[in-house]
Chains A and B, each alone.
Chain A
Amino acid sequence: MSVFEAVIGLEVHAQLLTVSKIFCGCSTSFGLAPNTNTCPICLGLPGVLPVLNRKAVDFGIRLGLALGCVIQERNVFARKNYFYPDLPKGYQITQYDNPLCAGGHLDIEVKGVMKRIGIRRIHMEEDAGKNIHDDSRPRSYIDFNRAGVPLLEIVTEPDITTSEEAVTYLKELRLVLMYLGVSDGNMEEGSFRCDANVSVRTRGSGSMGTRTELKNMNSFRNVQRISLRRPSCGTPLPAGPVPCDPRRKATTTATSRIPTWSPWSSMLRGWTASARP
């Protein structure tokens, strides 16, 4: 047994099977011609306002009950501000202080042993559009069909210590979502996406190592692979926090409710202006 162990927390984004988007009446159908499922609201034209889709809330509550969460009576939506071409309004409408669900769990079985994975929160938010880059010339295009599709973000406690547990949790959660009829769990179409927060520490140590966020893993195999490599990196370890794996790009998590453009702007350099829909 390795002297190191991983501490893993997972954030799953699950697209909901609502007929229409979370803040407008546009269809959520996948695979249509670009920018056909759009309207002034999901394109963020001047003067429009969001109206919450009741069905999205119902679906969120359904999942919260299935995972034993407390359903919060008071829900608050917040704006996460950053500039990016696929984000029409310059902010994402999401939940921050008062999420829909808090404090649940999902029990998984790994190698015959049951383990309880804590659910920290489930909140509602809107998906962004999709940038499509033309490699033959310096041009990018944006498809806003996905902009405003309702998402649930399901965040675990850092209770996961192996890649097997991570994959088992994800498979189990996907089944729950599909069984409840709130999401189709289709990973190829991006209906079920996962970010992992991973840190490495000496086994048995109470403290946490330096956290690395691995974004948008769209297959169980990726989760299996990445998690396995973490605990074996860089021995021997210095005292204190474990440095990040330099081969993987760590992204900074937005700690502010309203992050200004500064942490994001550096990511934008080199991107090209997009054509209009």
Chain B
Amino acid sequence: MLDTARRYRKEDLSPPAHVESVLARIRASELNAFVAVDEQGALRDAAAAASRIERGQEDLLLGIPIAVKDNICTKGLHTTCASNLLKNFVPPYDAHVVELLRNCGAVVLGKTNLDEFAMGSTTATSSFGPTKNPWDMTKTPGGSSGGSAAAVAAGLCDGALGSDTGGSVRQPASFCGITGLKPTYGTVSRYGLVAFASSLDQIGPMGRNARDVAVLFDAIRGHDPRDSTSIPRQYSPTSLDGLDLHGLRIGVPEIFFPQGLSREVERAVRFAITVFADLGAIIVPIELPHLRYGVAAYYIIAPAEASSNLARYDGVRFGVRDSDEEDLFEMYCKTRSKGFGDEVKRRIMLGTYALSAGYYEAYYRKASQVRTLIAGDFRRAFDRCDMIAGPTVPVTAFGLGDMVDDPLSIYLLDIYTIPANLAGIPALSVPCGFGDNGMPVGLQLLGPPFGDETILGAAMTFQDRTRFHEVRP
């Protein structure tokens, strides 16, 4: 992305030429990363960006082709959440982040594939079929922002937006060898992001390296009065110089390295931590005693909120209504039975149960209390360290068809990513090596609230010393 911006200024590349070549790559790609491509709009915006660059405008995102996850609303462009129920939905408005991207001259290429309503870790629950991992077409790119991650890794865009409710930016970033950030809850407006679990959802930038991610992050963050959880705060641009790591305290919780962690991931992550130590960081052992309950709490809270958030897909006002039933109740049943896939139904049922009268106290309230304990663990940990390092996912990308009948095993893979969502803290994934089969491994850095720039800066310094992010599939 930054390379492209520089070449635009050196005039050895023009936005229309670059966007045209990216569109050609998308057309030739067999990854199924995109569910919709807006060729006309992209070329029109590229031409407009070219004239703004000629007039000397400095905005780094001018003419940069960006892919947007298909659960983020785009005016006049289908937004389907990869669900049959929304396959005909065209939003009459842009999400806040899309407005911001358009305002700074970025070119919105199209919409990327995801797990249906962002529920999943493989992009396989998409009604458009699975996206493939550009490193190995037989493997999953992860999810739910798998389309965005695959598109970035394969050069089908210069950067992308994903959304992260329990790891949906970081896990596919790890599987596809790219950099992805889940910002502090409230720094990026959720207006126009189709809600999955409102207290956990956060839109995040994805790119080929931490500097690209930082530029995209600067563009999309900021207060938005249309999202009451967006924090009224002024931000100055993130420094692209990297962070001086001398004396920086990096906490490493041993609970991140249990028996079950795959050897290849442990090797790469431990190596990355020694790189940080070489760069002057102080490695501090820390404890996060309640983290073990994170997955359990998450799989109460997220489905509970989802069951309520997805109630609006009833076939009455928009989306696909199943037939013209004479009876309202039948219409509701058929619309939702046919419109939603298995994973979405599973979570709606889990969530409805957890919220129903008599169970609320035992499940949702209890899970919320666990959430408070986990946030407390992090607060205490950040008294002793400036950031926390560990694996993003316990494994590397697995086969496309693996574990499709075993949702529980897939849920358990979210063990490292979920805590940041429960606590609302920023976390990112950077490439830190490769597994035995050549698939990328991600290192996760977690920061205190509003520590987004610190972890991005540390990732920049790490990438100045390493080359993992430069290896392309």
Contact = CB atoms under 8 A, between A and B. Distances in A.
Contacts of B331: 273
B38 to A, nearest CB: 18
Given A268-B329, A272-B326, A273-B324, A44 B360 contact: no
A258 interface: yes
Given A89-B312, A90-B312, A47 B91 contact: yes
Nearest to A267: B329
B181 to A, nearest CB: 21
B10 interface: no
B228 A50 contact: yes
A47 B191 contact: yes
Interface in A71-102: 79, 81, 83, 85, 88-91
Contacts of A249: none
A40 B93 contact: yes
B212 interface: no
Interface stretch (B41-49, B315-323, B374-382, B441-449): B315-323
Residue in A48, A85, A255, A268 with the greatest tally of chain B CB atoms within 10 Å: A48
B238 interface: no
Contacts of A268: 328-329, 332
B397 interface: no
A276 B89 CA distance: 14
A46 B194 contact: yes
B311 A81 contact: yes
Contacts of A88: 312, 317
B73 interface: yes
B81 interface: yes
Interface in B102-138: none
Nearest to B354: A258
Chain B residues touching A, majority SS? loop
B329 A46 contact: no
B419 interface: no
A12 interface: no
Contacts of A90: 308, 310-312, 314
A41 B368 CA distance: 28
A137 to B, nearest CB: 11
Interface residues of A, number: 38
A269 B327 contact: yes
A259 B226 contact: no
Interface string B347-378: 00000100111101000000000000000000
Interface string A128-162: 00000000001000100000000000000000000
Contact of B311 (A40, A89, A271, A276): A89
Contacts of B332: 83, 268
A274 interface: yes
A89 B360 CA distance: 21
Contact of B191 (A49, A274, A276, A277): A49
B86 interface: yes
A47 B192 contact: yes
Nearest to B356: A260
B79 interface: yes
A158 to B, nearest CB: 23
B328 A271 contact: yes
A175 interface: no
Nearest to B228: A51
B317 A277 contact: yes
A43 interface: yes
3 closest A-B pairs by beta carbon, nearest first, are A90-B311, A256-B357, A271-B328
Interface of A: 40, 43-52, 79, 81, 83, 85, 88-91, 138, 142, 255-261, 265, 268-274, 276-277
Given A47-B194, A258-B357, 18 more contacts: A46-B81, A46-B194, A47-B72, A47-B79, A48-B192, A51-B228, A52-B228, A83-B314, A90-B312, A91-B308, A260-B352, A261-B352, A265-B329, A268-B328, A270-B327, A271-B327, A272-B327, A273-B316
Interface of B: 72-73, 79, 81, 86, 89, 91-93, 95, 190-195, 225-228, 307-308, 310-318, 321, 324-329, 331-332, 352, 355-358, 360
16 contacts: A43-B317, A46-B91, A46-B195, A47-B91, A49-B190, A49-B195, A51-B226, A89-B312, A256-B357, A258-B360, A260-B352, A260-B357, A271-B327, A272-B327, A273-B324, A273-B327
